[in-house]
A and B are shown apart, each in its own frame.
Chain A
Amino acid sequence: MLGESMLSVFLCFPLQNDDLRNLSLSGHVGFDSLPDQLVNKSTSQGFCFNILCVGETGIGKSTLMDTLFNTTFESEPATHNEPGVRLKARSYELQESNVRLKLTIVDTVGFGDQINKDDSYKPIVEYIDAQFEAYLQEELKIKRSLFNYHDTRIHACLYFIAPTGHSLKSLDLVTMKKLDSKVNIIPIIAKADTIAKNELHKFKSKIMSELVSNGVQIYQFPTDEETVAEINATMSVHLPFAVVGSTEEVKIGNKMAKARQYPWGVVQVENENHCDFVKLREMLIRVNMEDLREQTHTRHYELYRRCKLEEMGFKDTDPDSKPFSLQETYEAKRNEFLGELQKKEEEMRQMFVMRVKEKEAELKEAEKDLHEKFDLLKRTHQEEKKKVEDKKKELEEELSNFQKKKAAAQLLQSQAQQAGSQQTKKDKDKKKVHCLSPCNEHPCLLYL
């Protein structure tokens, strides 16, 4: 894609060198076809244009894009439940006569929906920087192909201001302040049909004065070239443009026109008395599209590049060694960075090893404890067992003793029975009497 980088290369400094003579031509040479040659090349390669739409959910970003480009870009309306702001980019190829345009529309989904909007601007800034970074990386490559690089840098940022009628929201101011050095900001008042005409004028002046007092730099329409100076100057007065978008057509008179139909009347999008849509379209597309692209490349991108390179440690030192210092410093920085990474990796590994050791030690301790407990239990168990066995032995001894005694007693008894059966007859009576006397009540035969 013939980008701005190409144009700025093929054009030279304003021709005011003293050592150059102005020559007059004695005939037609033919280099007045040069702009045509340049333009033809660009036409065959196609153009890129990238628009970023920043605004709250539901403020009419998608509808306005549809209206501007006379097409329906497929998209579903976003919900209000997004946890954070994210950017959604969509590319389309449009063709008009022999001009092919690769249009990219970037939407901020979820902007303004969160309760805490402190970080809302960050994803936007990051996205814009990422595109610059991609271009810078390509530019710094050794083998690069800039002439067919697909330029994704944002050329215009349409900032949608809610039609409150009072002033800018603080979120608006903060976001615009963060973006104004990175992108061309064109502020617009969305859904302008909700503001009455007299209020609109006051609202616009309030917004502009707030922007000025907060030092927000919005895009200035160029006034240096005579053909566009006039139209740009007159249009600038109407900033921010109060727009109404609509893709529906309503019959007005005998024509169909884009409009919004209300019970009390019809708001015509392309009627300059009703809203500034036509002005926005003129300024954005028909007059300044090329200038927007040029500003992005020569101002915003250069600023990013300068900051980034200075951050990386490059300086414009003596002119003799510039290509070297770029390469060398780059290499050095890269090695430094890699070295740091390696160091960190080592540190992490060390920490990991240490932790593992600790855990291992802990586990060992636990294991030891367990073993001890087990041993203790075992011992206790052994002791108990021994005790029980001892008791068992005792018992058995007693039993055997008892058995012995019993056996001995029985033997004696049987002996005594035999010997005593003779005597018992004699004793019996004796004993009986003897016995009866003390114990009358119960007769007991005690053979003792």
Chain B
Amino acid sequence: MSDLVPEPRQKPVVPMKPVSINSNLLGYIGIDTIIEQMRKKTMKTGFDFNIMVVGQSGLGKSTLVNTLFKSQVSRKSSGWSREEKIPKTVEIKAIGHVIEEGGVKMKLTVIDTPGFGDQINNENCWEPIEKYINEQYEKFLKEEVNIARKKRIPDTRVHCCLYFISPTGHSLRPLDLEFMKHLSKVVNIIPVIAKADTMTLEEKIEFKQRVRKELEVNGIEFYPQKEFDEDLEDKTENDKIRQESMPFAVVGSDKEYQVNGKRVLGRKTPWGIIEVENLNHCEFALLRDFVIRTHLQDLKEVTHNIHYETYRAKRLNDNGGLPPMTVETEENHESNL
């Protein structure tokens, strides 16, 4: 019955499993030059970074961002004048800038959320923000799923969300908890205690401890998340930050004053000048170093490898359940995500 069995199809050549052998080097090859090659390539094309600031108005969000990036990235709102109406919902304003330093070009986008927490009834005020974040993921996903893809997909996803905590000195407000609970699952949240110059050193330490405890009790994983620590080194480093420094108690300022013969950024008060970049006065320098100088790339990577992948997996799994999300037809519908 040999003619019943169809002829076996020619199998494509599958190479045998690669054998890993450690070789001894007898001379210089030059593979470490790949670092330079990579660096050159990245410098040429530039980076982008999207940072969102969330908090009630008047907490100093714009000032802080300006201080962080040493330029007028955000225009400070001078409060709502009598003619302007307070927006009924939270608005999302994204402004992009190009800054360059040391040959490195960065496209910085600051996403402001005026109106957050400003209404009398603040229920669900995190929803527009969550929706915005998911829309950016959606945009990226659409580009990625294209047949003919762009060489570099423009990245508008929110890499980092600075959440401003009011320096009450007591504990977190219910609004703070609700917001962070919802959003810590979709974006990297870095809680920041604003206007820290209203607290003394002891008050600051106590407040920070209480905030940390509350965050832990409520199961809010802020960045750097414990579960994403890659190795022991990361873990110890991040543990230190998580358990001691965060949330950073910051003061922002874009005015310069003369202190001890140096020009420093600071706030002038009758009782002294608060130096923004002085670690004894506030933790701005720590925040800056953390976000920009050491963890910028990691923020982007966690957003891409984890938050975006989670969104994508959910989206591709919910087959036919979700209506297409376009920018035009947005209404305040509940997102199933």
Contact = CB atoms under 8 A, between A and B. Distances in A.
Given A20-B98, A74-B21, A286-B30, 4 more contacts: A22-B99, A94-B31, A96-B25, A225-B40
A47 interface: yes
A9 B33 contact: no
B144 to A, nearest CB: 9
Interface stretch (A63-71, A171-179, A206-214, A433-441): A63-71
B304 A9 contact: yes
Given A104-B18, A320-B326, A11 B32 contact: no
A37 B298 contact: yes
Interface string B1-32: 10010000000111110111111111111111
A37 to B, nearest CB: 4
Interface stretch (B186-194, B211-219, B288-296): B288-296
Nearest to B233: A44
A27 B319 CA distance: 50
Contact of B29 (A7, A32, A69, A326): A69
B: interface residue count bin: 35 or more
Nearest to A281: B30
Interface stretch (A186-194, A288-296, A410-418): A288-296
Contacts of A331: 319
Contact of B292 (A17, A30, A351): A30
B155 A321 contact: no
A348 B3 CA distance: 11
Given A10-B300, A286-B30, A328-B319, A323 B141 contact: yes
A73 B23 contact: yes
Nearest to A32: B102
B40 A88 contact: no
A48 to B, nearest CB: 11
B79 interface: no
Contacts of B288: 29-30
Interface of B: 1, 4, 12-16, 18-35, 37-49, 68-73, 96-107, 141-142, 145-149, 151-155, 265, 288-289, 292-298, 300-301, 304-305, 309, 312-313, 315-317, 319-320, 324, 326
Nearest to A351: B4
27 contacts: A6-B301, A6-B304, A7-B38, A7-B41, A12-B152, A20-B107, A23-B72, A23-B97, A25-B69, A25-B71, A27-B70, A30-B292, A31-B99, A34-B104, A35-B38, A94-B23, A94-B31, A96-B29, A96-B30, A143-B309, A144-B309, A285-B33, A290-B41, A294-B41, A306-B148, A323-B142, A355-B4
A101 interface: yes
A26 B319 contact: no
Contacts of B100: 22, 25
Q: Looking at B71, B98, B145, B294, which has the most chain A CB atoms within 10 Å of its CB?
A: B145
Q: Looking at A15, A22, A34, A36, which has the most chain B CB atoms within 10 Å of its CB?
A: A34
A326 B145 contact: yes
A43 B29 contact: no
Contacts of A363: none
Interface stretch (A234-242, A311-319, A399-407): A311-319
A355 B21 contact: no
A41 B297 contact: yes
Nearest to B323: A320
Contacts of A35: 38-39, 42-43, 104
A-B pairs, 10 with minimum CB distance: A32-B102, A91-B18, A37-B297, A290-B37, A12-B48, A71-B23, A89-B15, A286-B30, A126-B12, A11-B45
B333 to A, nearest CB: 16
Contact of B99 (A25, A97, A291): A25
B99 A8 contact: no
Contact of A96 (B16, B31, B149, B152): B31
A180 interface: no
Given A12-B45, A29-B292, A71-B24, A99 B34 contact: yes
A30 B13 contact: no
Contacts of B39: 35-36, 38-39
A86 interface: yes
B148 A34 contact: no
B107 A12 contact: yes
Interface string A91-108: 111111111010010100
